[in-house]
């Protein structure tokens, strides 16, 4: 499809047109012209980009899809529809499916099922067989088959020796491990942040220490093996400080934060709304401030969705037995805008850096480049509701609420999706 976008502002740190307002022409999947006062051609769709931002397509580092095995939560079709609506043209999907993505067969299944989609779906292979943290999965074979990284998803790797061996093994073929930071022996069965709020609610709290001790261990192991390591979903000020120091010391470490940890605080749990129950738990205002500073100074490399679909029967229950997670693909952009990130920061943390971390090609907004981009209006309001929710699940505290920041177009793989 041929397309002309007029008067749009480009946000791409790798483009010579960064921060410039231009017209952009796309023909047969390529950006063929960027300039001013471009004239519409025959059979060309024209989109008025006044006030809108054109960024390289968003890429999510941390997405859960139930396919295979848990398709009642989410399948590839619904996940990619939700991703498109949220501005994502690429997803890295976690291995906690059934069967677990722990061999080349599951990797091939996901790649084949998502083939030809506007949204590129790339599997993350498991570190351990069945996510049990005991036996190494077939990581090399999965890498050869198309796995882009390795993780046990939301399960922390608790055995220090196993973690050490996994890092050493993955380093041998330039793989990347992505780990969930949680010291289970300290966190126990607690489900909310340890603070005044947990005392007021009469619930046991998860101390920040549980996350920070786990990160400290992983920093020691990454240093010992001189191996790259990615920490997923950091949430505390102490975690930011630990990673900042490790980077300064030359450790090959990177990290991300989910968008909701930049906006939601633990006080939202006062009504025991299980849609705010996430793992790690929501923290305090001082943690949010540290996370935002970490994004600005480069300590935190990327923002992710931490999309975790759950059927209603796992959420519409008492808080203590409710499952963790929020559906988040369609709400990452509005939350980042609410948190105060500008267009340049959004492009860097949501488009460029996630792909760099995974050694994937980074789309660039330049003439003769393959077209892979997102157009969004940062000031446009919209209501997120059951009609426009593209996920199979509905476990979001933002449903039926007005949000600011709306995706208008996504383009990738010679396919265009437009939203009103």
Domains, the chain, ordered by start:
3-54+367-380+402-418 (2.30.40.10), 57-357 (3.20.20.140)
What tens digit of pLDDT does each residue of 269-322 get? 999 999 999 999 999 999 999 999 999 999 999 999 999 999 999 999 999 999
The string over 206-219, giving b where at least 16 C-beta atoms fall within 10 Å of a residue's C-beta and e elsewhere, is: bbbebbbbbbbbbb
| pLDDT at residue 420 is higher than 80 | no
| pLDDT at residue 210 is higher than 80 | yes
pLDDT at 319: 94
Give the integer Cα–Cα distance in Å for 2 and 26. 5
pLDDT at 42: 85
What tens digit of pLDDT does each residue of 142-166 get? 999 999 999 999 999 999 999 999 9
DSSP state of 217: H
pLDDT at 43: 86
Q: Is 221 exposed, middle or buried (0-12, 13-18, 19+ CB in 10 A)?
A: buried
Q: Answer yes or no: are the C-beta atoms of 144 and 174 closer than 8 Å.
A: no
Which residues touch 185 (CB under 8 Å, ≥6 apart)? Answer: 158
What tens digit of pLDDT does each residue of 220-254 get? 999 999 999 999 999 999 999 999 999 999 999 99
What tens digit of pLDDT does each residue of 53-105 get? 999 999 999 999 999 999 999 999 999 999 999 999 999 999 999 999 999 99
pTM equals 0.97
What percentage of the chain has pLDDT greater than the value 70? Answer: 100
pLDDT at 290: 98
């Amino acid at each position: 499809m041929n397309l002309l976008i007029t008067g749009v502002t480009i946000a791409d740190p790798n483009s010579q047109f960064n921060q410039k307002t231009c017209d952009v022409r796309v023909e047969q999947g390529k950006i063929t012209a960027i300039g001013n006062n471009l004239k519409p051609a025959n059979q060309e769709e024209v989109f008025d980009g006044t006030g809108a931002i054109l960024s390289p397509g968003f890429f999510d580092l941390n997405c859960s899809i139930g396919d295979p095995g848990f398709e009642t939560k989410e399948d590839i079709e619904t996940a990619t529809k939700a991703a498109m609506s949220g501005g994502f043209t690429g997803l890295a999907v976690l291995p906690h499916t059934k069967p677990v993505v722990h061999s080349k067969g599951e990797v091939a299944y996901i790649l084949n099922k998502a083939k030809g989609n506007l949204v590129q779906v790339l599997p993350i292979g498991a570190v351990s067989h069945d996510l049990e943290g005991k036996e190494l999965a077939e990581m090399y074979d999965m890498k050869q088959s198309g796995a882009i990284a390795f993780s046990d998803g939301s399960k922390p790797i608790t055995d220090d020796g196993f973690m050490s061996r996994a890092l050493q093994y993955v380093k041998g073929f330039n793989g990347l491990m992505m780990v969930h930071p949680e010291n289970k022996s300290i966190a126990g069965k607690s489900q909310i942040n340890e603070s005044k709020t947990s005392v007021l609610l009469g619930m046991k709290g998860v101390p920040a220490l549980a996350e920070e001790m786990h990160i400290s261990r992983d920093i020691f192991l990454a240093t010992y093996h001189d191996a790259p390591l990615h920490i997923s979903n950091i949430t505390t000020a102490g975690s930011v400080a630990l990673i900042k120091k490790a980077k300064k010391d030359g450790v090959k470490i990177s990290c991300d934060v989910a968008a909701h940890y930049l906006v939601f605080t633990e006080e939202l749990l006062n009504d025991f709304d299980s849609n705010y129950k996430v793992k790690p738990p929501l923290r305090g205002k001082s943690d949010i401030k540290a996370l935002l500073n970490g994004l600005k100074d480069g300590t935190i490399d990327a923002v992710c969705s931490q999309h975790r679909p759950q059927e209603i029967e796992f959420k519409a229950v008492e808080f203590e037995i409710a499952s963790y997670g929020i559906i988040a693909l369609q709400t990452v952009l509005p939350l980042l805008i609410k948190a105060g990130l500008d267009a340049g920061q959004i492009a860097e943390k949501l488009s460029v850096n996630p792909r760099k971390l995974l050694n994937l090609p980074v789309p660039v907004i330049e003439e003769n480049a393959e077209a892979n981009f997102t157009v969004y209006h940062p000031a446009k309001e919209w209501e997120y509701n059951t009609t426009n929710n593209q996920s199979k699940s509905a476990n979001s505290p933002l449903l039926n609420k007005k949000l600011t920041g709306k995706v208008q177009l996504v383009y990738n793989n010679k396919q265009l999706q437009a939203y009103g």
